[in-house]
Chains A and B, each alone.
Chain A
Amino acid sequence: MTRTRRWTQIITLLLFVVLFLYTEYHGQDILLVPVNIFLELDPLILLGTSLAARAQIMPLFGALVLLLFTALLGRFFCGWLCPLGTIFDIVSRKQQPNNSVHQLQKFKYLILCFLLVSALWGTQLIFLFDPISILVRSLTMVFYPAFEHVIRSIVNGLYTTPLAVVSEPIFAAIKEPLLSFTQPYYRLGLTTATCFLAILALEKITPRFWCRNLCPLGALLGICSQKGAITYQRSAACNSCQVCTEKCKTGAITASGAVDKRECILCGNCVGSCQLEAVSFALAPQAAATSIDLTRRQLLKSLGAAAMLAPVIQVSRWKEPRAASVIRPPGANLDDEKFLALCTRCGECMKVCLGNALHPTLLESGLTGIWSPHLVPDLGYCEYNCNLCGQVCPTGAIAYLPLAEKQQLLIGTAYIDKNRCIPYRLNSNCIVCEEHCPIPHKAIQFERRVIQTASGPYELLLPIVVEERCIGCGICQTKCPLTGSPGVVVQKKLPGLARTRIPS
Chain B
Amino acid sequence: MTKKIDRRNFMETSLKVIAGAGLYSVAEPLVRPALASKRPHHIANPAPIVVVKNGRASTMVRKAVESLGGIGKFVAKGETVVIKPNMSWDRAPAYAANTNPFLVQEMVNLCLEAGAAKIKIFDRPCNDPRRSYKNSGFDRVFKHLRNPRVEFSHIDERRFVYTKIPQGKNLKEFFFYKDALEADCIINMPIAKHHSLTTLTLSMKNYMGLLGGQRAVIHQDIDQNLADISTLIKARLILTDCTRILVANGPQGGDIKDVRRPNTIVAGSDPVAVDSYCCRFFSVSPSRIGYLSKAYKMGLGEMDLSRVPTTVLDLS
How many whole Å from B9's CB to the nearest CB in chain A? 41
- Does A383 contact B158, Cβ atoms closer than 8 Å? no
What is the chain B residue whose CB lies nearest that of A481? Answer: B216
- Does A27 contact B255, Cβ atoms closer than 8 Å? no
What is the chain B residue whose CB lies nearest that of A183? Answer: B157
- Interface majority SS on A: helix, strand, loop or mixed? loop
How many whole Å from B289's CB to the nearest CB in chain A? 14
What is the chain A residue whose CB lies nearest that of B92? Answer: A385
What is the chain A residue whose CB lies nearest that of B135? Answer: A385
What is the chain B residue whose CB lies nearest that of A429? Answer: B197
- Does B255 contact A441, Cβ atoms closer than 8 Å? yes
What is the chain B residue whose CB lies nearest that of A434? Answer: B196
How many whole Å from A432's CB to the nearest CB in chain B? 4
- Does A355 contact B128, Cβ atoms closer than 8 Å? yes
A258 vs B155: C-alpha distance when bound (angstroms): 64
- Does B222 contact A429, Cβ atoms closer than 8 Å? yes
- Interface majority SS on B: helix, strand, loop or mixed? loop
With A428-B220, A428-B221, A481-B214 as given contacts, are A27 and B253 in contact (CB-CB < 8 Å)? no
A430 vs B216: C-alpha distance when bound (angstroms): 8
A355 vs B129: C-alpha distance when bound (angstroms): 10
- Does A461 contact B216, Cβ atoms closer than 8 Å? no
- Does B131 contact A386, Cβ atoms closer than 8 Å? yes
- Does B127 contact A383, Cβ atoms closer than 8 Å? yes
Residues of A within 8 A of B251 (CB): 435
- Does A430 contact B195, Cβ atoms closer than 8 Å? no
A479 vs B89: C-alpha distance when bound (angstroms): 14
Interface string of A7-32 (1 = CB under 8 A from B): 00000000000000000010100000
Most chain B CB within a 10 A radius of its CB, from A422, A430, A432, A446: A432
Q: Does B219 sit at the interface, judged by CB under 8 A? A: yes
- Does B253 contact A440, Cβ atoms closer than 8 Å? yes
Interface string of B9-28 (1 = CB under 8 A from A): 00000000000000000000
What is the chain A residue whose CB lies nearest that of B139? Answer: A27
Residues of B within 8 A of A480 (CB): 216
Residues of B within 8 A of A27 (CB): 130, 134, 139
- Does A384 contact B158, Cβ atoms closer than 8 Å? no
- Does A383 contact B131, Cβ atoms closer than 8 Å? yes
A386 vs B131: C-alpha distance when bound (angstroms): 9
How many whole Å from B287's CB to the nearest CB in chain A? 15
What is the chain B residue whose CB lies nearest that of A384? Answer: B90
Q: Does B58 sit at the interface, judged by CB under 8 A? A: no
Identify 6 residue pairs between A and B in the complex whose beta-carbon atoms are under 8 Å apart, listed by A's number: A354-B130, A384-B90, A435-B126, A435-B250, A439-B254, A446-B196
Top 6 closest pairs, chain A to chain B, by CB: A440-B254, A481-B216, A440-B255, A432-B216, A431-B197, A354-B128
Residues of B at under 8 Å CB distance from A? 90, 126-131, 134-135, 139, 158, 195-197, 214, 216-217, 219-222, 249-255, 258
